Amino acid sequence: MNENLKEMILQSLIDQKEVFGDELFEAKKIIRKTDIQYQTNEESPELNRVREEVKTIKDSPKKSHEEILFEEAKEEWQLASNLDDLNKLICNCQKCILGKTRNKFVFGSGNPDADVLVIGEGPGADEDAQGLPFVGRAGQLLTDILKAINFSRDEVYIANIVKCRPPGNRTPLPVEMESCIPYLKKQIDLIKPKVILCLGLTSAQGLLKKKDSLTNMRGKVFEFGGAKVMVTYHPAALLRNPNWKRGCWEDVQQFRKLFDELVKK
């Protein structure tokens, strides 16, 4: 049987399924000899093979038109299978104005298989110069905070809501965060942390999409991407307001307790 005829039979059976459901009509083999047509109830192996193909199509889960369009519209970075590849695919991003003013793209750093993910707001001057997150005074304080609850920077992963420094260290604009957060979500999907610690209100609101105060979010446990999320002060805020350190200490102790409970399960 030639390929065109096989395709016609297959398409005909598929069309029949679409109209009449899963019940297929009894098919007969057509034998041509000059101008005379003979019919027989014997079925050819080729027809049986076509029926098997139709059965496979019938048993396969159908994708909606929207799902097919979504898959076709995926950008290359969305298909990255590890953090290094993701970084290479997005490090030249120009989706928002921050791409034009940055010095270096700050992807994130740490253990790619970390159980703990720490998320800040955005790079500062030191981070913009070095291309690494939390390397200035606030970064040193973060290192001390993690050490106080028995985490080293090497065993956690650190990232930010936006990956380019806002001019003058201003708060990232909503459009800037919306452009960058999909990258962070992809990082979370690849890392698969058990717990996430959001540093500051911008980080918490950007990730959790909650219009609430830092005071109301502190001490609570949220969920995102299969991970438990807690919120505390940003280290830079602690440098400006040392009286908040006690509250931060209480937050991170609770965070460590949450982590230990999850690890035991």
pLDDT per position as a tens digit, 168-225: 999 999 999 999 999 999 999 999 999 999 999 999 999 999 999 999 999 999 999 9
Give residue for tokens 């609850």: 149
Q: Specify whether the CB–CB gap between 123 and 164 falls below 8 A.
A: yes
Q: List, for residues 73-111, the tens digit of each pLDDT value.
A: 679 999 999 999 999 999 999 999 999 999 999 999 999
Weakest-pLDDT range from 30-44, 123-137, 195-209, 214-228? 30-44
pLDDT of the residue at 217: 97
Average pLDDT over residues 24-33: 41
What are 20's two structure tokens?
Answer: 């009449």
Tell me the one-letter amino acid at 50.
Answer: V
pTM exceeds 0.85, yes or no: no
**Would you say domain 86-264 falls under CATH 3.90.1580.10?**
no
Query: Which one is predicted more confidently, 62 or 218?
Result: 218
Average pLDDT over the chain reads 84
Q: Name the DSSP letter for residue 1.
A: -
The pLDDT, as a whole number, for residue 163 is: 98
28 pLDDT exceeds 50? no
Residue 43: pLDDT over 70? no
Give 210's Cβ-side CA count (13 Å radius). Answer: 21
Output the pLDDT for position 30: 38
- Alpha carbon distance 4, 139 (integer Å): 67
Gap between the Cα atoms of 233 and 214, Å rounded? 8
Helix (H, G, I), strand (E, B) or coil at 251: helix
Mean pLDDT of 26-53: 49
Interacting residues of 148 by C-beta distance below 8 A, sequence separation 6+: 249, 252
User: What are the residue boundaries of the structural domains of the chain, listed by start?
Assistant: 3-62, 86-264
Band the pLDDT of 36: cuts 50, 70, 90: very low
**What average pLDDT does the segment 12-40 reach?**
44
For the chain, what percent of residues have pLDDT higher than 90?
Answer: 70
Asked if residue 126 lies in contact with residue 135, where contact means CB atoms within 8 angstroms, the answer is yes
